[in-house]
Structure 1
Amino acid sequence: MQSRFRSRSTWLATVCALVVVLATPVVVATASTSASAATTLTVAQALGAQDGRSATVTGYVIGQPTASNTVIRSGFTADTAVAIADTSAETSTSRMLYVQVTTAYRSAFGLLSNPGLRGQRITATGTLTAYFAHGGLKNPTAMSLGGTTPTSSPTPTPSPTVPGGGYDSTYYAAAIGKTGTALRSSLHSIIRSHTRLSYDRVWEALKDTDQDPANPNNVILLYTGRSQSKSSNGGDPNDWNREHVWAKSHGDFGTATGPGTDVHHLRPTDVSVNASRGNKDFDLGGSTVAEAPGCYTDADSWEPRDAVKGDVARMIMYMAIRYEGTDGWPDLELNQSVGNGSAPYHGKLSVLLQWNQADPPDAFEKRRNQVIHERWQGNRNPFIDHPEWATSIWG
């Protein structure tokens, strides 16, 4: 009898242990548990990886997003979304990630129910994709209070000696090894999701992206190369204004949020020089532009100075890949023509390919790409990181 009793006790202990093991995951898989132990991204990194991947992001709660460029910091109206940033004092929505708060997490992370959450650090795991037409994280699978600063820098600086600026294994991972139409499709998917600025915000962005490295109070004007006070923007003849390098009439998109406000192709230019360029396509030759030494123009084309020929080419190429007829915008394409008028085309392709090779990206252009990625739109111009991709796509 004694041996049978011991056997039964052993059996009961085994069953109890099995029940505990099976029950444990149910206990921890709740809305308040810690987010994934996978590598945690900063908000800046998450804004630069809006490609549908699953990721864990940590940041400080700034407020409740209500529109693409609006985050309220008090008087919260719903529990459905929070905006987070890498610093608790952040004021620019371009450096905030909009996090969707689904039903399972609203009681703990909705700002209407928890206004004291503002200023606290949270960690969330979900899908990196646009939300409120802004860089976002949707469909969270985990959210938790707290978190630690990621080991990688929130503002990584790409090395000019590394192809892709060091982003090949992350941002460009889906494009590496592809060519032709497959490469084009991959790049479009990678750069498509980004923060869209208002036309008024473009003024602020250009003062940052085109800052004179030798004088932080000035910007460098694209066609003249002149260093000019940031505060001298406006409409008078010697002011600087916002030049659409891809002429906004080519596709008739104007200055509405989208291609009309994409700072990857908007640059500070002298008002008079901007008027001389107008909506002309790019080609070689013509008469000297008096206020812009090194630039030439005729009835239907514009040739920029040598120092920015490659910059112009890569901006035009970016637009052709970013805007492929999705999101309600025209399908922008390069062609061999000049005088494209209101058609969604820009030329001259063969000349732009030559300029891309003759004038490779310099430090100013690389910094500009990085600033747009980190502080304004969250996406990159792939032809600055990989100029050789232009030939792979267009031949």
Structure 2
Amino acid sequence: MNMKSVTRSRPGRLITAFVLAVTVTTPVAVASQASAATTLTVAQALAAQDGRTATVTGYVIGQPTASTTVITSNYTADTAIAIADTAAETSTTRMLYLQVTTAYRADFGLLTNPTLRGRQVTATGTLTAYFSHGGLKTPTAMSLGGGTSPSPTPTAPSTSGPYDSTYYATAVGKTGTALRSSLHAIIRTQTKLSYDQVWEALKDTDQDPANANNVILLYTGRSQSKTLNGGGVDDWNREHVWAKSHGDFGTTTGPGTDVHHLRPEDVSVNSLRGNKDFDAGGSAVAEAPGCYTDADSFEPRNAVKGDVARMIMYMAVRYEGEDGWPDLEMNDSVTNGTAPYLGRLSVLLSWNRLDPPDAFEQRRNQRIYERWQGNRNPFVDHPEWAAAIWG
């Protein structure tokens, strides 16, 4: 009946109905486009917690776990992120908590994607409380970057690494003692492991990229089963690259368990290296091709010379005589004995230049930061900082 009635309507009535339809619907479409085109800053989104749908852009700070707590490492889930108008923000009162629903967790969850920290994110969703804090829930769109940034992207020098706008913000641009002091203040904030936990950490940090069941031994370069660890012949154990007798810190929590300088190594090669300083030359080490040793020094294979140097540099900056631990320093000697010194500085600086960080070392640094200690080795991120401090 309705179709017949419409068919019998006069042309004029049909035209009038069409015009009315256009008149009614056109403003709605325009309003929708205008809403979508408006991107709020985090500050604006925090001031508009009224259930409206909005698009917000900000920089990822970390994972919110409570109304006033945002963690920036050792993430526990992919379900939420906190964003702010600047990448260096530290106050949760200026952060917006974003719910990350199932559809977006693979790309925007921090447990799965820890390198998102400091990146710019744009999200569309409902502005409403989340974790009893200003938030955006039930996102319908999430993307990296996009739109007009609420504040300029932090600018770093050409030698900058991925964490300069956040982790290294107070160190960038400095040299000498000022740089060293800033780096110490940054990296001394860490989770401290027990000596037993080091076993599990090394199975993760030194995993063979080609075989997830194995670790790569530092000096020999051998890929060996993670389960063949201990004190037996041809087992791997925990090598202190900064020999623990240099400062007499042993295996106590702190320098004795810091995974940034602990590496898997063949038991006998570890024993052969002992507490020797590092230098070039000596007799070839049969079980570790490319390594050499003499009475007072040890030379690692070429592929890890820079790794060794940067681990020693980390220890010298991280441990400055606080908390009852020794003040570790590099020097140009190879007769340091039990003093809190390790050499040879000039050779280590050379190794740092000749063997820059590779993918394995960079992954290791990232793994320690994400999963174990929450701090980084700055000389892996910025090998040029070695010369800036030690000349």
Q: Which residue of 1 aligns with 2:65?
A: 59
Structure 2 matches for 1:189-338, cutoff 5 A?
189-338=185-334
Change (3 A) 1:42 1:338: same
2:115 is paired with a residue whose SS is coil
2:253 is paired with a residue whose SS is coil
Change (3 A) 1:394 1:241: same
Change (3 A) 1:333 1:272: same
Matched, 1:180 2:198: no
Matched, 1:156 2:120: no
Structure 2 matches for 1:31-46, cutoff 5 A?
41-43=61-63
- Indicate conservation of the 8 Å contact 2:241/2:308, yes or no: yes
Alpha-carbon distance in structure 2 between the residues aligned to 1:275 and 1:157: 41
The Cα of 1:226 is off from its aligned counterpart by 0.2
- Indicate conservation of the 8 Å contact 2:83/2:98, yes or no: no
- Indicate conservation of the 8 Å contact 2:62/2:83, yes or no: no
1:356 is paired with a residue whose SS is helix
1:95 is paired with a residue whose SS is coil
Change (3 A) 1:143 1:386: closer
Code of the residue aligned with 1:317 in structure 2: it is M
Alpha-carbon distance in structure 1 between the residues aligned to 2:338 and 2:268: 22
Code of the residue aligned with 1:41 in structure 2: it is I
The CA deviation string for residues 285-326 of structure 1, in whole angstroms up to 9 with x for no partner, is 111111001100111100000000000000000000000111
Change (3 A) 1:40 1:353: closer
The Cα of 1:59 is off from its aligned counterpart by 2.8
Q: Which ranges of structure 2 fall in alignment gaps of 5 or more residues?
A: 1-45, 47-56, 85-89, 120-157
Alpha-carbon distance in structure 1 between the residues aligned to 2:348 and 2:280: 10
- Indicate conservation of the 8 Å contact 1:60/1:85, yes or no: no
- Indicate conservation of the 8 Å contact 1:221/1:267, yes or no: yes
The Cα of 1:341 is off from its aligned counterpart by 1.1
Q: Which residue of 2 aligns with 1:386?
A: 382
Matched, 1:377 2:328: no
- Indicate conservation of the 8 Å contact 1:251/1:345, yes or no: yes
2:114 is paired with a residue whose SS is coil
Select 1:95's aligned residue among 74, 87, 108.
74
Alpha-carbon distance in structure 2 between the residues aligned to 1:169 and 1:163: 13
- Indicate conservation of the 8 Å contact 2:277/2:342, yes or no: yes
1:242 is paired with a residue whose SS is strand
Alpha-carbon distance in structure 1 between the residues aligned to 2:80 and 2:342: 46
Alpha-carbon distance in structure 2 between the residues aligned to 1:96 and 1:156: 11
Q: Which ranges of structure 1 fall in alignment gaps of 5 or more residues?
A: 1-27, 29-36, 44-57, 62-80, 87-93, 98-119, 126-136
Change (3 A) 1:157 1:225: farther
- Indicate conservation of the 8 Å contact 2:60/2:81, yes or no: no
Matched, 1:349 2:345: yes
Alpha-carbon distance in structure 2 between the residues aligned to 1:164 and 1:301: 34
TM-score normalised by length of structure 2: 0.66
- Indicate conservation of the 8 Å contact 1:60/1:121, yes or no: no
1:165 is paired with a residue whose SS is coil
The CA deviation string for residues 70-127 of structure 1, in whole angstroms up to 9 with x for no partner, is xxxxxxxxxxx99x989xxxxxxx9368xxxxxxxxxxxxxxxxxxxxxx989899xx
> Which deviates more, 147-156 or 202-211?
147-156
Code of the residue aligned with 1:155 in structure 2: it is P
The Cα of 1:327 is off from its aligned counterpart by 1.9
The Cα of 1:157 is off from its aligned counterpart by 7.3
Report the number of matched residues: 283
Q: Percent identity?
A: 69
The Cα of 1:369 is off from its aligned counterpart by 0.5
> Which of structures 1 and 2 has the bigger CA Rg?
2
Code of the residue aligned with 2:178 in structure 1: it is A
Measured on the aligned residues, the alpha-carbon RMSD in Å equals 3.3
